């Protein structure tokens, strides 16, 4: 019997990405503290959260293979997570408007005996956004619950002329690197 695989996330986007790999898995979303530590770089933040999620789920399901991830944007030394309000989303968009920013995902694959993690970076170029662009995009409802207040796989694609790196990373789970970690723990051939 194949070992039980659990995705430690309630994100529909991560679920859809993992389904692309043809894996059979369950979902369990842990409740962890996602506070940013003082002066914590985004790369360390996303890796720390991914590992904390994996640890929490493994504690509940000790015989499983756990896949956990966390995605945030890094711009001007700041971590941009999910918007708390319309004003917060607009402030984030003003920071990334007309320039490039980095999207980082930390991925952790964990078993009782092994723990591997990686951080993947993708550079995203955003066009300059007008106030009208921002109002229309906010009205769509799409920015809610998304790191950086946008979804590259949705309406926001119209504002992104190019990326350098993994597209699936920007969506929330870098598939190539996740497969490599799963192969390391022998969850995939």
Which tens digits make up the pLDDT trace of 77-131? 899 989 999 999 999 999 999 999 999 999 999 999 999 999 999 999 999 999 9
Beta carbons within 8 Å of 40's beta carbon, 6+ residues apart: 48, 79
- By CB atoms closer than 10 A (0-12, 13-18, 19+), residue 131 is exposed
Domain span at residue 83 reads: 5-184
Residue 188 has pLDDT above 80, yes or no: no
Residue 70 known to be catalytic: yes
Q: Is residue 95 part of a domain?
A: yes
Report pLDDT digits (tens) over 13-60.
999 999 999 999 999 999 999 999 999 999 999 999 999 999 999 999
Q: pLDDT tier at 3 (50, 70, 90 boundaries)?
A: confident
- Number of folded domains that form the chain: 1
The domain that holds 106 is classified in CATH as: 3.90.950.10
Q: Is 9 inside any structural domain?
A: yes
Q: Which helix (H) or strand (E) holds 58?
A: helix 42-60
User: Looking at 39, 70, 102, 133, which residue is catalytic?
Assistant: 70
The token pair that represents 162 in the structure block: 């190019």
Q: Is residue 189 part of a domain?
A: no
Phi and psi torsions of 144, nearest 5°:
-65, 135
Residue 87 lies in a domain: yes
| Lookup: tokens for 83 | 């918007």
- Does 112 map to a domain? yes
Q: Which pair of structure tokens corresponds to residue 87?
A: 């004003």
The pairing of strands 100-110 and 162-164 is unpaired
Q: Which two tokens stand for residue 37?
A: 């530590």
Which of 116, 29, 106 is closest to 74 using CA atoms? 106
Please report whether residue 34 resides in a domain.
Answer: yes
């Amino acid at each position: 019997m194949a070992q039980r695989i659990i995705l430690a996330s309630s994100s529909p986007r991560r679920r859809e990405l993992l389904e692309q790999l043809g894996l059979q898995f369950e979902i369990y979303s842990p409740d962890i503290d996602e506070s940013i530590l003082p002066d914590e770089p985004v790369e360390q933040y996303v890796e720390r959260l991914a590992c904390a999620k994996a640890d929490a789920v493994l504690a509940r399901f000790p015989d499983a293979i756990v896949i956990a991830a966390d995605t945030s944007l890094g711009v001007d030394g700041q971590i941009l997570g999910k918007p708390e309000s319309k004003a917060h989303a607009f402030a984030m968009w003003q920071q990334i408007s007309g320039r490039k920013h980095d999207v980082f995902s930390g991925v952790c694959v964990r078993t009782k005996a092994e723990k591997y993690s990686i951080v993947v970076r993708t550079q995203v170029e955003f066009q300059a956004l007008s106030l009208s662009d921002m109002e229309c995009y906010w009205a769509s409802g799409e920015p809610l619950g998304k790191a950086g207040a946008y979804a590259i796989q949705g309406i926001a694609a119209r504002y992104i002329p190019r990326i350098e790196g993994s597209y699936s990373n920007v969506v929330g789970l870098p598939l190539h690197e996740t497969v490599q970690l799963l192969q390391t723990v022998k969850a995939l051939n």
